[in-house]
Structure 1
Amino acid sequence: MPKFLATILLATFSIGASATTVSDTNIENAASSLKSEFQTTQLALGFSNEEIDTFLSSAKFDQGVIDAMTKPWEAKPWYQYHPIFLTEKRLKAGLAFWKKHEETVNRAAKEFGVDPQVIIAIIGIETFYGGYMGNYPVVDALYTLGFYYPPRATFFRKELSNLQTLAKEEQLDINQLKGSYAGAMGYGQFIPSSYRHYAVDFDNDGQRDLLNNPVDAIGSVANYFHQHGWVAGAPVAIPLKTQSGLPSPLKVWAGERLHYQVADILTPTLSLDESIDLDISQPALIVELEQEATSEYWIGLKNFYVITRYNRSPLYAMAVYQFSQELKKAHDAQ
Structure 2
Amino acid sequence: MVMAMLSMAACAIPAGAATALKSAASCQASQASGTDADPAPLLYAARPEALQWADDLAARRDLERQWLRQIIGQARFLPSVQRLMQPPPAADRASKNWHLYRSRFITPARIRAGLRFWQAQRSALARAEREYGVPAEIIVGIIGVETLYGQQQGRWRVLDALATLAFDFPAAHPRAQERTEFFRRELEQFLSLAQRSGMAPTEPCGSYAGAMGLGQFMPSSWVRYAVDFDGNGRIDLFNDPADAIGSVAHYLRGHGWTPGMATHFGVHFDTARLQLAPLLAPDILPTFSAAEMQAQGAMPDAAGAQHAGPLALVELQNGGAAPSYIAGTENFYAITRYNRSSYYALAVIELGRAVAMARAAQATR
TM-score normalised to the size of structure 2?
0.77
1:79 corresponds to 2:95: no
Distance 1:42 1:294, change over 3 A: farther
Query: Cα distance, 1:226 vs. partner?
Result: 1.6
Provide the aligned C-alpha RMSD in A: 2.4
Distance 1:283 1:212, change over 3 A: same
Provide the residue aligned with 2:350 in structure 1.
Answer: 322
Alignment identity in percent? 36
CA distance in 2 between counterparts of 1:155 and 1:110 reads 34
Provide the residue aligned with 2:204 in structure 1.
Answer: 177
SS in 1 for 2:314: strand
Provide the residue aligned with 1:219 in structure 2.
Answer: 246
CA distance in 2 between counterparts of 1:242 and 1:40 reads 56
* Deviation sequence 1:268-323 (CA, Å, 0-9, x none): 63212x32164555222221111241111111101001101111112111111122
Higher RCO structure, 1 or 2 (CA under 8 Å, sep 6+): 2
Query: Is the 8 Å Cα contact of residues 54 and 72 (structure 2) preserved in structure 1?
Result: no
Query: Cα distance, 1:118 vs. partner?
Result: 0.5
Provide the residue aligned with 1:91 in structure 2.
Answer: 111
Which of 75, 81, 86 is residue 59 of structure 1 equivalent to? Answer: 75
CA distance in 1 between counterparts of 2:50 and 2:315 reads 39
Query: Cα distance, 1:330 vs. partner?
Result: 2.2
Query: Is the 8 Å Cα contact of residues 186 and 220 (structure 2) preserved in structure 1?
Result: yes
Query: Is the 8 Å Cα contact of residues 145 and 153 (structure 1) preserved in structure 2?
Result: yes
Runs of 5+ consecutive residues of structure 1 not aligned to the other structure:
1-27
CA distance in 2 between counterparts of 1:103 and 1:203 reads 10
Provide the residue aligned with 1:9 in structure 2.
Answer: none
Query: Is the 8 Å Cα contact of residues 275 and 296 (structure 2) preserved in structure 1?
Result: no
Query: Cα distance, 1:332 vs. partner?
Result: 2.5
Within a 5 Å distance, the mapping from 1:225-264 to structure 2 comes to 225-244=252-271, 247-254=276-283, 258-264=286-292
Which of 132, 135, 146 is residue 166 of structure 2 equivalent to? Answer: 146
* Deviation sequence 1:55-86 (CA, Å, 0-9, x none): 21121111111222226799543232111111
Distance 1:168 1:254, change over 3 A: farther
CA distance in 2 between counterparts of 1:82 and 1:246 reads 28
Distance 1:38 1:260, change over 3 A: farther
CA distance in 2 between counterparts of 1:38 and 1:259 reads 43
CA distance in 2 between counterparts of 1:95 and 1:246 reads 42
1:203 corresponds to 2:230: yes
| Structure 1 residue identity aligned to 2:135 | D
* Deviation sequence 1:11-59 (CA, Å, 0-9, x none): xxxxxxxxxxxxxxxxx9xx75465345313421011221220121121
Greater CA drift, 137-146 or 274-283:
274-283
Runs of 5+ consecutive residues of structure 2 not aligned to the other structure:
1-43
Provide the residue aligned with 1:5 in structure 2.
Answer: none
Aligned length: 303
Provide the residue aligned with 1:127 in structure 2.
Answer: 147
Query: Cα distance, 1:229 vs. partner?
Result: 2.0
CA distance in 2 between counterparts of 1:115 and 1:127 reads 19
Query: Is the 8 Å Cα contact of residues 186 and 218 (structure 2) preserved in structure 1?
Result: yes
CA distance in 1 between counterparts of 2:145 and 2:97 reads 17
Provide the residue aligned with 2:126 in structure 1.
Answer: 106
SS in 2 for 1:294: strand
Query: Cα distance, 1:329 vs. partner?
Result: 2.2
Provide the residue aligned with 2:293 in structure 1.
Answer: 265
Distance 1:254 1:166, change over 3 A: farther
Distance 1:199 1:134, change over 3 A: same
| Structure 1 residue identity aligned to 2:76 | K
CA distance in 2 between counterparts of 1:192 and 1:280 reads 36
CA distance in 1 between counterparts of 2:257 and 2:88 reads 26
Query: Cα distance, 1:153 vs. partner?
Result: 0.6
Provide the residue aligned with 1:70 in structure 2.
Answer: 86
Which of 281, 303, 306 is residue 334 of structure 2 equivalent to? Answer: 306
CA distance in 2 between counterparts of 1:322 and 1:39 reads 47
| Structure 2 residue identity aligned to 1:96 | R
Query: Cα distance, 1:146 vs. partner?
Result: 1.0
* Deviation sequence 1:195-242 (CA, Å, 0-9, x none): 111111111111001011111111111111122221222110122212
Query: Is the 8 Å Cα contact of residues 35 and 147 (structure 1) preserved in structure 2?
Result: no
